[in-house]
Amino acid sequence: MNIAVLGVGEHGRTIAQLCATHGCSVRLWAEDATAVMDAVDRVEQELTESHPHDSGDNEHGAHQIEGTTGLEAAVGGSDIVIETATDDVGELQRKFAAIEQHVTDDAIILTAHPELSVTAATAGMRQPERALGLQFVTTEPKPLVEVVVTEHYSEEVIADIDQFITTIGATAVFIRDSAGLASTRLTLALEVEAMWLVADGVASVSAVDRLYERMYSQSIGPLERADRAGLAERREEIQRLAETIGDRYEPPPLLDALVEAGYTGQDAGEGFYKWDGDEPTGEAIEGPHFEHHESTE
């Protein structure tokens, strides 16, 4: 399977490596030749380190990765084109239309920024049903991929992209193009409710996180995750959803207060937790604590 990956940032390199690892031929594209060659070198190094005993003529060999600065050279003959560098819907619309000029009619074009409106980005395409959004939700042990489907979808394209995702060792979950990814909405809804539990004095920060960790076998809870992501960024994401979906995603006043005070999480050294580098050292918000006295009887 021939895959073109447009963009050589971390996201593009990760996708290129995953595809090459599973036997796909990959062409990496960027306008800057030095950036392309550096990205190819880094992906080849990662492939070699991941499969140190493989020879150069097997499915994990570095020959699976090529670099180019020509768009036509990158996408021509590709079965799948994955655009990873464009995060503006107007620019993506132009990129989709340009890609379509150089691919066959059965090629599938994906954006790895599905938080953008994929439907809007297909406005200039002759075959809008061949464009989808793609988001890696988890990476280990088996990647879960959220695929954003527009109203123009075809069953053939759905089957083809499902087969591609299976080929790279992942599992696909298909969702309709709407405001916010399903995974993002679930994550933020949980974090918002966790914040309200603390704000209402129902439970302490650590109690909320421990409850979630034990119930769902997770390594960190929603409040620690929000701290690590950055509370200012989290508030912006929640506000965007509130504008399009409704007030169930309104940022809790506690989150507003923390951000306005500069307590934006790990990056600031304090949010819901106090931080020392990469590790939380204790709760930054006082919550309910219940004394326990052992019976002497």
pLDDT in tens, 51-92: 665 544 445 445 589 999 999 999 999 999 999 998 899 999
pLDDT, tens digit, 9 for 90 and up, residues 136-191: 887 667 789 999 999 888 999 999 999 999 999 999 999 999 888 899 999 999 99
pLDDT, tens digit, 9 for 90 and up, residues 14-54: 999 999 999 999 999 999 999 999 999 999 988 888 766 55
Output DSSP code: residue 169: T
- Report how far residue 141's alpha carbon sits from residue 52's, in angstroms, rounded to the nearest whole number: 20
Output Rg (C-alpha) for the chain, integer angstroms: 22
pLDDT, position 297: 47
The lowest-confidence range among 113-117, 137-141, 202-206 is: 137-141
Share of the chain above pLDDT 90, in %: 76
Backbone angles phi, psi at 279, to 5 degrees: -120, 135
pLDDT, tens digit, 9 for 90 and up, residues 129-146: 999 999 988 766 778 999
Fold of 2-176: Rossmann fold (3.40.50)
- Report how far residue 201's alpha carbon sits from residue 196's, in angstroms, rounded to the nearest whole number: 8
* CATH for 182-283, options being 3.40.50.2300, 1.10.1040.10, 1.10.645.10, 1.10.760.10: 1.10.1040.10
From residue 53, give the alpha-carbon distance in Å to each of 48, 50, 57.
8, 9, 12
Checking if the pLDDT of 274 tops 70, the result is: yes
So where are the chain's domains? 2-176, 182-283
Q: What average pLDDT does range 224-245 have in this prediction? A: 95
Q: Exposed, middle or buried: residue 72 (CB in 10 Å: 0-12, 13-18, 19+)?
A: middle
Topology agreement, domain 2-176 and domain 182-283: no
Report for 143-152, 220-229, 244-253: range of highest mean pLDDT = 220-229
